[in-house]
């Protein structure tokens, strides 16, 4: 049985490079090779994105290759979702849930075992997979839709108020922190956990916070630019990157956000 095992992050023998999902696609397509001087780290959130991709139904053999690329090239897996990961790093007593990632890996093992003909999976299974993937990604789609509705209000306020030029000069650090605190508080309340924000170390999510600033300002001042549901995964995946890590993505938009800001460009791995 082809088992994808959960290897947890305990220490850093080599530097860790937190990976976007497209890294594993690139390895599977032979357009990128695993470097020897670092460990490529999959995250629970990127694995969930892969587990809800309709590629599983349409291009199953290639999907198997992507799973094999992870299995053969990854370092330890970060098994916690991004919110749990941040809270766990902030409070050693915080109890994170690894079970969803274990279930995903179990599903990957089953898919890697499939013996496929030229037609791939049968039509009934293909339809079932596609529907399941759509259902699983609905929260991201709804989050993006809410954000796009809010963008219309924000843009109108900027254009009828101080204008885009002055808006871009404003330091949004405090308001962005309040937004992040709200998201985390809602999540934590569902787990009956209270976050002590007075002891929260914001430096541990520096990359996420600066990219949030750059991303939001771009959205707020670019006509017709919208939040895509895929942006949600790419954005929250940055929560896994601590100041001791590097980040690797081949998505041009996110690379540009990081490279164009002197505060964080050192996070990007080449």
Q: Which stretch of 48-52, 110-114, 121-125, 135-139 has the lowest confidence by average pLDDT?
A: 121-125
Per-residue model confidence (pLDDT) at position 119: 57
Judge contact between 44 and 63, C-beta under 8 A: no
> Confidence class of residue 1 from pLDDT cuts 50, 70 and 90?
very low
- Element containing residue 246 per DSSP (H, E): strand 246-248
Q: What is the mean pLDDT of residues 151-162?
A: 87
Task: Tell me: pLDDT of 181 over 90.
Answer: yes
pLDDT digits (tens, 9 = 90+) for 201-233: 999 999 999 999 999 999 999 988 999 888 999
> What is the percentage of the chain residues whose pLDDT exceeds 90?
66
Q: What is the mean pLDDT of residues 40-62?
A: 91
Task: Tell me: pLDDT of 123 over 50.
Answer: yes
CA distances 239 to 172, 186, 225, Å, are 18, 17, 23
CA distances 154 to 150, 217, 222, 230, Å, are 6, 11, 11, 22
Structure-block tokens of residue 204: 């541990």
DSSP letters for 211-225: HHHHHHHHHHHSTT-
Structure-block tokens of residue 57: 């139904």
Q: Within the chain, what is the greatest distance between any pair of CA atoms? A: 62
Per-residue model confidence (pLDDT) at position 17: 98
Q: Which stretch of 8-17, 40-49, 258-267 has the lowest confidence by average pLDDT?
A: 8-17
Mean pLDDT across the chain: 90
> What is the C-alpha to C-alpha distance for residues 34 and 126, in angstroms, rounded to an integer?
32
pLDDT digits (tens, 9 = 90+) for 226-270: 998 889 999 999 999 999 999 999 999 999 999 999 999 999 998
Per-residue model confidence (pLDDT) at position 3: 52
* Burial (CB count <10 Å: 0-12, 13-18, 19+), residue 76: middle
- Element containing residue 16 per DSSP (H, E): strand 16-19
Structure-block tokens of residue 215: 């991303």
Q: What is the mean pLDDT of residues 160-167?
A: 88
**What secondary structure letter does DSSP report for 116?**
-
Supply φ then ψ for residue 18, to 5 degrees: -70, 130
Structure-block tokens of residue 238: 């940055």
> What is the C-alpha to C-alpha distance for residues 121 and 129, in angstroms, rounded to an integer?
10
**What is the CB neighbour count within 10 angstroms for residue 79?**
24
pLDDT digits (tens, 9 = 90+) for 75-109: 999 999 999 999 999 999 999 999 999 999 999 99
Judge contact between 44 and 9, C-beta under 8 A: no
What is this structure's pTM? 0.88
Q: What is the mean pLDDT of residues 168-182?
A: 93
């Amino acid at each position: 049985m082809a088992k994808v095992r959960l290897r947890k992050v305990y220490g850093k023998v080599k530097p860790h490079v937190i990976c976007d999902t497209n890294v594993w696609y690139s390895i599977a397509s032979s357009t990128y090779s695993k470097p020897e001087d670092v460990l490529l780290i999959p995250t629970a959130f990127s694995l969930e994105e892969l587990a809800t991709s309709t590629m599983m139904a349409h291009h199953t053999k290639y999907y198997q290759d992507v799973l094999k690329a992870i299995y053969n090239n990854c370092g330890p897996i970060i098994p916690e979702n991004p919110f749990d990961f941040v809270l766990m790093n902030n409070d050693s007593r915080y109890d994170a849930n690894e079970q969803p990632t274990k279930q995903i890996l179990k599903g990957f093992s089953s898919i890697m075992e499939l013996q496929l003909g030229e037609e791939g999976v049968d039509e009934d299974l293909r339809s079932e997979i596609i529907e399941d993937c759509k259902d699983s990604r609905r929260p991201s789609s709804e989050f993006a839709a809410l954000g796009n509705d809010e963008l219309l209000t924000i843009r109108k306020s900027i254009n009828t108020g101080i204008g885009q030029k002055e808006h871009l000069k404003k330091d949004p650090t405090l308001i962005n922190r309040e937004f992040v605190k709200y998201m985390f508080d809602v999540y934590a309340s569902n787990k009956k956990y209270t976050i002590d924000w007075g002891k929260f170390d914001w430096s541990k999510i520096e990359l996420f916070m600066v990219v949030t600033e750059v991303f939001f300002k771009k959205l707020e001042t670019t006509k017709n630019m919208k939040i895509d549901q895929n942006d949600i995964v790419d954005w929250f995946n940055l929560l896994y990157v601590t100041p001791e890590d590097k980040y690797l993505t081949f998505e041009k938009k996110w690379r540009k956000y990081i490279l164009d800001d002197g505060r964080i460009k050192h996070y990007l791995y080449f």
